[in-house]
A and B are shown apart, each in its own frame.
Chain A
């Protein structure tokens, strides 16, 4: 029972951690999860568990790199606990390059307050190609898990592609997994004790997401079949919703089936989670995100003054706004032109402060302008028009 709960808790941790990775700034999440593992019940274990969740996510973008890390802590009702940490860096190959590489590592420990203990470590590298309307990726992950002193290793390779059609995002991916983690599949009722592995699995997954402003609704379908070591097939459906309640608070709900993930040591389970996300603490330093790089260009006009053109390279962005002295700091929407959002503003000679933001995020200075502190913990771009 202890082992089952520990595995379940770890599953929730990883699920929450993955959701948090799409978020900027410093955020806290707290919530509740209900887990069900029918396969474990058939083996005489406790097939259900409740858990309280707490997660922290922090991201620090620079001009080129994005460093992010997250930590999760979960307490289940029978006083078990688990913790997980992720640290990764994401960087484009060059300015405006569609190529981006993500490298990271994660570690988890569970059953911290109970008899028995275990842990997982994994590392990943993923190469992305990102355009305005879609992209593709390929990557590999290696990991190892120990439970009560028993070690098992795993590896996976995956490729996928995604596309955007207005507010609908769709992705499809295939992956191949190799593992010796018999316990993971035995507790799911998929293999017998006399099928020790190793196993080779093939997955394919389809994800659809509807985005409206800061809200989103996501659904996924996963199909798995065995290639070697065992003989079973599975299907899984899952869904999640994010509703932004205020500027700083959002509700996140998930429901569905998570298939066993041998690379991260996660068991199969049906789960329902509800969490509240709070954005607290300082906002990230006001530098442009990798996916939203603004540049300003001034073209002098006869008789003095100039045309200020601000272009924001912003893939995967719904809205970009510009504001400054010239607008009385009233945000003005920028127009989408292909992979860019663009604003043209006629200015008289003088000095102007300029800020740009994407998707209601923090205001940032166009990267090629001089940057000045703004008295509000952020900064603005400074431009002088001849």
Chain B
């Protein structure tokens, strides 16, 4: 057999594998009672996988639908929507490809964070640092009703000052506590961001900590 034929055969096998229903890839455990709907959901997952998207958040979305007793068609639409958001997040967060970052990006888009803001947030940190946590905090703050622009400004300011993911996450926790105590979300964010900022090194020191060549644009 010639090398060309071998390559063609491998390509065909790979193509057929990626086009196969997700049931052949370990997702047949989806407990969707309606067999037709289950196949449709598995097909959505297989389609996403063929595009190189992570399937784990899609399976999680399907399981959420099952638990919430959604119809098969509604689960399929939800999985397709999540896949679309993951694909959009992958483009916006490039070159990030981790499941956590793509999932965080997709969830940020789901709550209404404008797409360009994902790019801005990605640019605030070197490409080798995960922006999953900052994205999660941004999502939480926007879901609380804080304008996305304001939330992004505060978070990126902290990122550029060298805040750790844990410090950024604690910002969200503190805002939550303040809101529960009766403070307006916007005001709580302002105060808490200032508090975290006071613990961080000066801008000059933070800049010197960033790896050469991967420093975010100013």
Residues of A within 8 A of B78 (CB): 375-376
In the complex, A338 has a CB within 8 A of chain B: no
Nearest CB to that of B64 among chain A residues?
A329
Residues 15-68 of B at the A interface (beta carbon under 8 Å): 60-61, 63-68
At the interface with chain B, which of A28-36, A217-225, A254-262, A366-374? A366-374
Please tell me the size bucket of the interface on A. 20 to 34
Residues of A within 8 A of B169 (CB): 349, 384-386
At the interface with chain A, which of B88-96, B131-139, B210-218? B131-139
Residues of A within 8 A of B100 (CB): 350
In the complex, A63 has a CB within 8 A of chain B: no
Residues of A within 8 A of B111 (CB): 372-373
Interface string of A265-284 (1 = CB under 8 A from B): 00000000000000000000
Indicate if the CB atoms of B74 and A351 lie closer than 8 Å. Answer: no
Residues 138-170 of A at the B interface (beta carbon under 8 Å): none
In the complex, B162 has a CB within 8 A of chain A: no
Residues 136-193 of B at the A interface (beta carbon under 8 Å): 136-137, 139-141, 143-144, 165-167, 169-170, 172-173, 176, 179-180
In the complex, A304 has a CB within 8 A of chain B: yes
> Of A247, A298, A329, which one neighbours B63 at CB under 8 angstroms?
A329
Nearest CB to that of A286 among chain B residues?
B68
Bound-state Cα–Cα, A38 to B18, Å: 76
Interface string of A343-386 (1 = CB under 8 A from B): 00000011101010000000100001111111111101011111
B154 to chain A, nearest CB (A): 15
In the complex, A328 has a CB within 8 A of chain B: yes
Given the known A-B contacts A349-B133, A375-B77, are A384 and B172 also in contact in the complex, defined by CB atoms under 8 Å?
yes
> Of B67, B141, B166, B180, which one neighbours A304 at CB under 8 angstroms?
B166
* A374, A383, A384, A385, most chain B CB atoms within 10 A: A384
Total cross-chain contacts (CB, 8 A): 90
In the complex, A330 has a CB within 8 A of chain B: yes
Indicate if the CB atoms of B67 and A386 lie closer than 8 Å. Answer: no
Indicate if the CB atoms of B67 and A363 lie closer than 8 Å. Answer: yes
In the complex, B107 has a CB within 8 A of chain A: yes
In the complex, B115 has a CB within 8 A of chain A: no
Residues of A within 8 A of B170 (CB): 386
> Of A329, A350, A368, A371, which one neighbours B132 at CB under 8 angstroms?
A350
In the complex, A325 has a CB within 8 A of chain B: yes
A248 to chain B, nearest CB (A): 10
Bound-state Cα–Cα, A304 to B51, Å: 34
Residues of A within 8 A of B179 (CB): 368
* A373, A382, A385, A386, most chain B CB atoms within 10 A: A386
In the complex, B69 has a CB within 8 A of chain A: yes
In the complex, B70 has a CB within 8 A of chain A: yes
Indicate if the CB atoms of B166 and A373 lie closer than 8 Å. Answer: no
In the complex, A331 has a CB within 8 A of chain B: yes
Indicate if the CB atoms of A328 and B136 lie closer than 8 Å. Answer: no
Indicate if the CB atoms of B173 and A298 lie closer than 8 Å. Answer: yes
Bound-state Cα–Cα, A68 to B165, Å: 46
> Of A349, A374, A385, which one neighbours B64 at CB under 8 angstroms?
A374
B142 to chain A, nearest CB (A): 8
A335 to chain B, nearest CB (A): 20
Nearest CB to that of B70 among chain A residues?
A376
Total interface residues on B, using CB and 8 Å? 40
Given the known A-B contacts A376-B70, A376-B74, are A325 and B140 also in contact in the complex, defined by CB atoms under 8 Å?
no
Residues of B within 8 A of A304 (CB): 166
Interface string of A311-331 (1 = CB under 8 A from B): 000000000000101001111
Indicate if the CB atoms of B140 and A328 lie closer than 8 Å. Answer: no
Indicate if the CB atoms of A372 and B143 lie closer than 8 Å. Answer: yes
Residues 71-90 of B at the A interface (beta carbon under 8 Å): 74-75, 77-78, 81-82
Bound-state Cα–Cα, A63 to B141, Å: 20
Bound-state Cα–Cα, A369 to B143, Å: 9
Residues of A within 8 A of B137 (CB): 384
Indicate if the CB atoms of A351 and B64 lie closer than 8 Å. Answer: no
Residues of B within 8 A of A371 (CB): 143
A5 to chain B, nearest CB (A): 42
Indicate if the CB atoms of A353 and B64 lie closer than 8 Å. Answer: yes
A112 to chain B, nearest CB (A): 38
In the complex, B110 has a CB within 8 A of chain A: yes
> Of B67, B107, B172, B176, which one neighbours A329 at CB under 8 angstroms?
B67
Residues of A within 8 A of B68 (CB): 355, 363, 374, 376, 378
B22 to chain A, nearest CB (A): 16
Bound-state Cα–Cα, A372 to B179, Å: 16
Nearest CB to that of B164 among chain A residues?
A386
Indicate if the CB atoms of A372 and B64 lie closer than 8 Å. Answer: no
Residues of A within 8 A of B143 (CB): 370-372, 382
A353 to chain B, nearest CB (A): 7
Given the known A-B contacts A298-B173, A375-B78, A376-B74, are A330 and B67 also in contact in the complex, defined by CB atoms under 8 Å?
yes
Q: Which B residues have a C-beta under 8 Å from some C-beta of A? A: 60-61, 63-70, 74-75, 77-78, 81-82, 100, 104, 107, 110-111, 132-133, 136-137, 139-141, 143-144, 165-167, 169-170, 172-173, 176, 179-180
- Assuming A382-B140, A384-B140, what are 12 further A-B pairs, CB within 8 angstroms? A247-B69, A325-B60, A330-B67, A351-B136, A351-B139, A355-B68, A368-B176, A375-B61, A375-B74, A375-B77, A375-B81, A380-B64
16 contacts between A and B (CB under 8 A): A247-B69, A304-B166, A329-B60, A329-B63, A329-B67, A350-B132, A351-B104, A351-B107, A351-B136, A363-B67, A375-B81, A377-B74, A378-B68, A384-B169, A386-B166, A386-B169
